[in-house]
Amino acid sequence: MSVLIDTNILLDVALKRAPFYQASALALAKARGHGETLLCAISVTTLHYFLRQKLGEKGARLFVAQCLTAMTVVTVEKATLQDALRSPMGDFEDGVIAQAALVGSASLILTRNTKDFIKSPVLAITPEDYLEKAS
């Protein structure tokens, strides 16, 4: 099973954000142990931007490098962006994530914001639900 990891999950883990860190870290580890983990290309720059503010340039680059080593990056091309624009999803960035999940043949999107992915072509699930489901 391949799982696309949403940016918020990676930020939870990198920044140990309470109260989300534990469930996000466990779900990420479980996803990595059960198959391929995917990362949308647009998440990489977003991650770096937010992590640099909290961890500095060196810390941000280290975490991004770890993600690039551990996950498969799903590229975002013009067609992916166009599909996201046409998508019924209200948020363009979430639409791009959802379309990238589709392009990458993800079985699930792991996110804390499932309400933003109600109209996603790929099922979105919270870390807590994933942990329960994948047990």
Q: How many CB atoms lie within 10 A of CB 45?
A: 11
Structure tokens at 109: 């999107």
DSSP state of 87: S
Structure confidence at residue 134 (pLDDT): 57
Expressed as residue numbers, the domain containing 36 is 3-133
Structure confidence at residue 133 (pLDDT): 85
CATH of the domain at 98: 3.40.50.1010
- Residue pair 125/110 in contact by the 8 Å Cβ criterion: yes
pLDDT in tens, the chain (135 residues): 899 999 999 999 999 999 999 999 999 999 999 999 999 999 999 999 999 999 999 999 999 999 999 999 999 999 999 999 999 999 999 999 999 999 999 999 999 999 999 999 999 999 999 999 855
Angle at 91 between CA 4 and CA 45, to 5 degrees: 55
The total of structural domains in the chain comes to 1
Tell me how far apart the alpha carbons of residues 114 and 124 are, in angstroms, rounded to a whole number. 6
Direct distance between the N- and C-terminal alpha carbons of the chain, in angstroms, rounded to an integer? 14
123 bridge partner residues: none
Distances in Å between the Cα of 59 and the Cα atoms of 15, 48, 66 are: 10, 9, 11
